Structure 1
Amino acid sequence: MLQIINSLKGDKVIWAFIALLALFSFMPVFSASSNLAYMRHGSGNALTYLLKHAVHIFIGFFIIYQVHKIPYHYFRGISMVSLPIVWILLVYTLVKGTVVEGANASRWIQIPFIGISFQTSTLAAIVLYVYVARYLSKSREIIPNFKQSFIELWIPVFITIALIFPANFSTAALIFAMVTMLAFIGKYPLKYIGIILGVGLISGLFFILIVKAFPDAFPNRVDTWISRIDNFTSDKPGEDDYQIEKAKIAIATGGIYGLGPGKSIQKNFLPQSSSDFIFAIIVEEYGILGALTILGLYLLLLFRFIIAAHKANSLFGKLVVVGLGFPIIFQALINMAVAVELLPVTGQTLPLISSGGSSVWMTCIAIGIILSVTKKEEEIAQELDEKQKRDEALKRLIDKQLQDDEDSEIISENEDCSITDNPMKAILKKQ
């Protein structure tokens, strides 16, 4: 075990926090999956869902290990090649998406021969963040022309978001917010950012008007967004109100210390108890203390991401850590805010804790890239340390040689003096 741990490169604290979140996830997932085990003529065995989650986590850590070994500067080129591929996948998902547990048909695709549902927007987000980081790091030395930057940076961003927006508003909004934040951190001119925000807002409103005018033109979830916002801002009963009410009952029941692991009652009534609303089950079983512990782990992970970004010796590395790390934390905060009704229902999962295959794996890819950045900084620090040790050893060797030379000169001078003082020694030396 120690050998495996020692083989891990990169920031060990990030490794530790990720492992803690993954290990904690087993109990809530096992408990919350019991209702799924009895739904739709299930076998009633929740252990199946626990084993499935364990396989997802194991594959996820394997992904992290493999990705973190890749030098992070390789992802510059990978993002450029992957972006058109992602667009093709998003178009296919929008047109040929599949229904997952009754959800909208335009958010997932089924991977052939494997039977795994895959949400392409999560992969698109990772590729886009790296692409934006590449562009901003490349153009840092030169103040970008708005027209040129709009073509090279913002058109790919808007194409990606436009392909996600009709089926997944919350993910599209999160991606746009993160890209804007990256542009701000990358010193993109503020006046240009203001123009982009205006363009994004107008484009979103225009899309909604088009959908309202031609509701059957293409797949979309505009009515779902509007109903969720209406339910959130009004007292009208709706489907989301049922989920929120059950989540609030679970949170109120948990109190400070919770009912105990596996003793949740509301897991039998919440439709998404093991994914979207797993935080409510955590509070019910582990209380406010358990909820604060989870929140604390995410905030500490955010703090570690900030440290990793600060230590990165290149702008690209800094932006990659921020662009891939911050969305993980913001997604977690959004999931918690939905559970306590601070935000309308969005469908965002709790990273590394909620059940699910592709969502866990995409998070693991992002973490692997972040660890690749920290690994590079470790290697640089190790090289500097070794160079310093070599320099110190060389200095000691030179000092020793100089000291030996001085000692030999002193001995030689003493010998000459002793010969001069004793004439007999001088005569014998000549002979």
Structure 2
Amino acid sequence: MTGTVVPQPARRRRSKFTRIGGRGDMSAIGRWFWEIDRVLLLLVTVLISVGLLAVAAASPAAGARYSGGAVQFAPLHYFWRQLLWLMIGVPVMIGISMLPKETARRFALGGAAAFVVALMLVPLLGVEVNGARRWIGVGLAQFQPSEFLKPFYVVSLAWLLSLRTQDRKLPVLWVSAGFTALIGGLLMLQPDFGQSVMFALMWGALVMLSGAPMRLIAWLGGGAVGLVLAAYEFYPVATLRINNFLHGQGDTYQVDMAHATITGGGLFGTGPGAGIAKFRLPEAHTDYIFSVIGEEFGLVACLAVAALYLAIVVRVFVKLLDQEDNFLLYAGAGLAVQFGAQALINMAVNVGIAPSKGMTLPFISYGGSSMIALSIGMGLLLAFTRRNPYLQRSPYVTVRTQA
């Protein structure tokens, strides 16, 4: 007797793409690993490592200056504190980079609103440091609202300008101009002329990127020149900074010491810890840390650091070349411009081709507010440049199910 052969169900096999960490891994960490721009993340990691080394080099000089000559002051005090800020900043950066793009956008809009309010409170609740009232809080809880506002402002501005694609009649340009003017006015009250210039620069860059007519761009350029001249004439802080830079008037000690420090090591530097000029340099661990790099590691190392910043900015723009979403294009480009412009301004001040602005060198200068704010900005940038590399290689979407 012959029986009926009952076909057995085919054994379902687990696709090789569904293993943990594979492209089919649907966990949050698995998706993040394959979608993140790992080259950009690697460049940022190298920059952070360079920053730790630079802060370690500058820490003895900063400690000797700000400890009041205390014998027991730890030479690496600022290095250990920077390491603490990194232990906070890096997880913040990774956590934000894992956010879906829409969630990251909403987070940035909420952050912009919160820190504009904080900026308004600075004149009332702020702490005065070196003649300027820019900080809120006490001790380790102090923070500088303008530092945190920068990345949130860029994303908010990108969202505003992207609305023009939905309705060309929306007055987003003038709304964004008013928003920028409000921030600039609040910053000049502190006073913080350098950050005011920075926000205006970011606004101009994004307006040009959004496709503004050349006639309007020409008017904006002329307006910018007029505002600088007006600031020179009626804003004492700008007058002092510009006169010191152009005519060598007033106290030029910082500029002179920065030049002596950055050139003191020649091409290859005096060696780690062997710098001498850095002990006469104010703010060696923050504003003028680039000069310390020049003294101890040489001008070649300074060029390498500049090239690293350039590589990060170029990498972002290469990733955005085929971006079709206007918001993601503007946000990514704006964050890259903010990051690169801040680095460029700081390095220009250190080599004496720009007036002092009190602006930190991203991920290298010491500072809690700067480190965490930059980590937020880089986290947003990594979130907005995330892509599925498998789907990029094929116009077809292949769905694989896990057994």
**TM-score between both structures, scaled by the size of structure 1:** 0.78
1:309 maps onto 2:320 in alignment? yes
Asked if the contact 2:36/2:385 (under 8 Å) is kept, the reply is yes
1:182 aligned residue? 206
Asked if the contact 2:264/2:277 (under 8 Å) is kept, the reply is no
Which amino acid is 1:108 matched to? W
Partner of 2:263: helix, strand, or coil?
helix
Equivalent residue in structure 2 for 1:116, among 138, 141, 161? 141
Deviations 1:40-77 (A, max 9, x none): 25432122321111111221111111101111223444
Aligned equivalents of 1:68 and 1:289: distance in 2? 33
1:58 aligned residue? 87
Equivalent residue in structure 1 for 2:390, among 363, 375, 382? 382
Of the structure 1 ranges 91-100 and 127-136, higher mean CA displacement relative to structure 2 is found in: 91-100
Deviations 1:393-419 (A, max 9, x none): xxxxxxxxxxxxxxxxxxxxxxxxxxx
1:332 aligned residue? 343
Identify if the C-alpha distance between structure 1 residues 49 and 246 changes in structure 2 by more than 3 Å, giving closer, same or farther. same
Aligned equivalents of 2:101 and 2:131: distance in 1? 36
1:284 aligned residue? 295
Q: What is the CA-CA distance between 1:314 and the residue it aligns to?
A: 0.8
**TM-score between both structures, scaled by the size of structure 2:** 0.83
2:25 aligned residue? none
RMSD of aligned residue pairs (Cα, Å): 2.8
Which amino acid is 2:186 matched to? L
Structure of greater Rg: 1
Q: What is the CA-CA distance between 1:115 and the residue it aligns to?
A: 2.8
Of the structure 1 ranges 176-185 and 223-232, higher mean CA displacement relative to structure 2 is found in: 223-232
Identify if the C-alpha distance between structure 1 residues 312 and 252 changes in structure 2 by more than 3 Å, giving closer, same or farther. same
Q: What is the CA-CA distance between 1:276 and the residue it aligns to?
A: 0.4
Of the structure 1 ranges 321-330 and 89-98, higher mean CA displacement relative to structure 2 is found in: 89-98
Asked if the contact 2:62/2:283 (under 8 Å) is kept, the reply is no
Equivalent residue in structure 2 for 1:21, among 44, 47, 72? 47
Identify if the C-alpha distance between structure 1 residues 124 and 204 changes in structure 2 by more than 3 Å, giving closer, same or farther. farther
Aligned equivalents of 1:290 and 1:200: distance in 2? 35
Asked if the contact 2:161/2:172 (under 8 Å) is kept, the reply is no
Asked if the contact 1:309/1:319 (under 8 Å) is kept, the reply is no
Please list every run of 5 or more consecutive structure 1 residues that lacks an aligned counterpart in the other structure.
Answer: 213-221, 393-431
Which protein has the bigger helix share?
1
1:37 maps onto 2:63 in alignment? yes
Aligned equivalents of 1:87 and 1:26: distance in 2? 31
Please list every run of 5 or more consecutive structure 2 residues that lacks an aligned counterpart in the other structure.
Answer: 1-19, 22-27
Deviations 1:212-260 (A, max 9, x none): 5xxxxxxxxx433322211111133x33x11111111112221111101
Asked if the contact 1:308/1:321 (under 8 Å) is kept, the reply is no
Number of equivalences: 369
Aligned equivalents of 2:186 and 2:330: distance in 1? 24
Q: What is the CA-CA distance between 1:351 and the residue it aligns to?
A: 0.3
Identify if the C-alpha distance between structure 1 residues 389 and 191 changes in structure 2 by more than 3 Å, giving closer, same or farther. closer
Identify if the C-alpha distance between structure 1 residues 79 and 29 changes in structure 2 by more than 3 Å, giving closer, same or farther. closer
Q: What is the CA-CA distance between 1:80 and the residue it aligns to?
A: 4.1
Equivalent residue in structure 2 for 1:234, among 247, 255, 272? 247
Which amino acid is 2:52 matched to? F
Asked if the contact 1:95/1:106 (under 8 Å) is kept, the reply is no
Asked if the contact 2:58/2:289 (under 8 Å) is kept, the reply is yes
Asked if the contact 1:10/1:373 (under 8 Å) is kept, the reply is no
Identify if the C-alpha distance between structure 1 residues 234 and 200 changes in structure 2 by more than 3 Å, giving closer, same or farther. closer
1:133 aligned residue? 158
